[in-house]
Amino acid sequence: MSCNEDLRLQAYFDGELDASAVLEVEQHLKGCTDCATLLADLEATRQLIRQDAPYHRASTALQESIVASLDREEGVQTPSPSRLSFSKRFLSGAASGAGATALAAALAFFLYLPQADPLAGDLMNAHLRSLMSDHLIDVVSSDRHTVKPWFAGHTDVSPPAADFVKEGYKLIGGRADYVDGHRAAVVVYRHGLHVINVFAWAASTEKLPGEVTRKGYHIVCWKGADLDYCAVSDTGMDELLDLVRLIKQQ
Amino acid sequence: MTDRRRRFEAQALPHLDAAYNLARWLARPPLDADDIVQDAMLRAYRAFDSVRGEDVKPWLLTIVRNCFLTEVGQRKRKQDVPLPADSETELADPALIAGDPDPEATIIQMDTHRELNDMLAALPSEFREVLVLREMEELSYSEIAQITGAPIGTVMSRLARARALLKKNWHLSAEGSRHVMQ
């Protein structure tokens, strides 16, 4: 049913091949209608599942019951403040979230539909892609005087690239990327075990998604003077907002 | 709040929906996805000091899957009553279906949701789980291998067969409904 060539094509479709194998498959696809058909089928099946299959989310009752069991495990007798912040964080809409007030104070950000936003999806994909392949960093440096000039030569924009190691956000490098039609410069930070990608591109009139959480990844977007920014990570929303605040203040 | 609790809330709890979605697609009534996830999250919390940040999601889903298998085993021993067939499941929450002002379009869309839901539910569970992990959770082959305990080659061939089977069933059903209409 599935010969090796089919499995290789599937691996190509799933983004599991290295660059040289990708080139081979793409060459092969030009001349093989069977494989082109199979590729279209794979895409159609994926679209079908992603658009029409139910995605089951945990109910508020389940969330609260889990938090209560963690409280018991910790030996907490009274309802702890963490319980409130947790519930708020996970009843996430674009405007909710514990950090929303802090962010609103610091930034002019733009609320936008969190679910149907292609930019948010594209940002998340770019973030995941950067973690999965060896394409996290093009220029490795914790020195802003290295990263920022590198952008000038490799991307359309040159966002500030400050190190916030004292605050827990270590600058680890920069990258050129492509998000939702924008050629983006990406400043990469490490916070604990988490990678934070801060995308920046030339300011457009496009609405930005504000604060969004998707499948456990947080996205925070804001408009700067002449650049649009989006920070993406699986670290906590509050931690991400902390970094955004630092970038904004520099 | 302890440090472990803080890390758990920051790193594991964001994957709660993924945990629940997997549990719902694995567990059929009378097994309860809420119970499975509740159990899994507590176990995860107790063992959380052993996990590294990047690996939390597949690690957590592995625990969910193990809790599911434990539940299945216990129920079999307790009652020796066969679990209902996979297809005997109700359609998901109507709230999951996007609102549409056109009633006819809404009905067609609901039919699509129901039909696809039933079709996925009717797949053998080893096919269903790789589809959920790859297409809904967007996990890599190696993460899926870790969660299911199967070699990567097996993950790849299961995924290929699951996709082909779903595509075939979907086309058959589309042809079927055309015949009915004629």
CATH number at residue B160: 1.10.10.10
Residues B74 and B107 in one domain: no
Q: Give residue B149's pLDDT.
A: 93
For residue range B16-39, what is the model confidence (pLDDT) as tens digits? 999 999 999 999 877 899 999 999
pLDDT band (50, 70, 90) for residue B53: low
Q: What is the CATH number of the domain that holds B8?
A: 1.10.1740.10
Looking at this protein, which amino acid is placed at residue B177? S
Residues B106 and B178 in one domain: yes
pLDDT at B12 over 60: yes
Q: Give residue B83's pLDDT.
A: 52
pLDDT at B103 over 80: no
- Among the candidates B84, B118, B140, a domain finishes at B84
CA pair distance B55, B75, nearest whole angstrom: 31
- Whether the CB-CB separation of A97 and A211 falls below 8 Å is answered with yes
Range of the domain at B167: 100-182
- Whether the CB-CB separation of A227 and A159 falls below 8 Å is answered with yes
Residues B66 and B133 in one domain: no
pLDDT at A40 over 80: yes
Tell me the average pLDDT across A152-164: 85
Provide the chain A residues 76-135 that lie in CB contact (below 8 A) with chain B: 80, 82, 86, 90, 128, 131-132
Of B16, B21, B135, the CB nearest to A49: B135
Count of domains observed in chain B: 2
Residues B109 and B61 in one domain: no
Q: What ipTM was reported for this prediction?
A: 0.81
**Nearest CA among A126, A158, A137 for reference residue A232:** A126
pLDDT band (50, 70, 90) for residue B102: low
Provide the chain B residues 67-86 that lie in CB contact (below 8 A) with chain A: none
CB contact under 8 A, A54 and B160: no
CA pair distance A120, A126, nearest whole angstrom: 10
Size of interface A-B (CB pairs under 8 A): 153
Residues B138 and B165 in one domain: yes
Residue of A nearest to B90 (CA): A54
Contact B50/A at CB under 8 A: no
- Among the candidates B16, B50, B84, a domain finishes at B84
Domains and CATH numbers, chain A: 4-52 (no CATH), 63-91 (no CATH), 93-249 (3.40.1000)
- Among the candidates B50, B84, B118, a domain finishes at B84
**More confident: A78 or A212:** A212
- Position B89 in a domain: no
Q: Give residue A58's pLDDT.
A: 93
Residues B132 and B55 in one domain: no
Return the structure tokens found at A22: 């990708």
Residue of A nearest to B34 (CA): A62
- Position B56 in a domain: yes
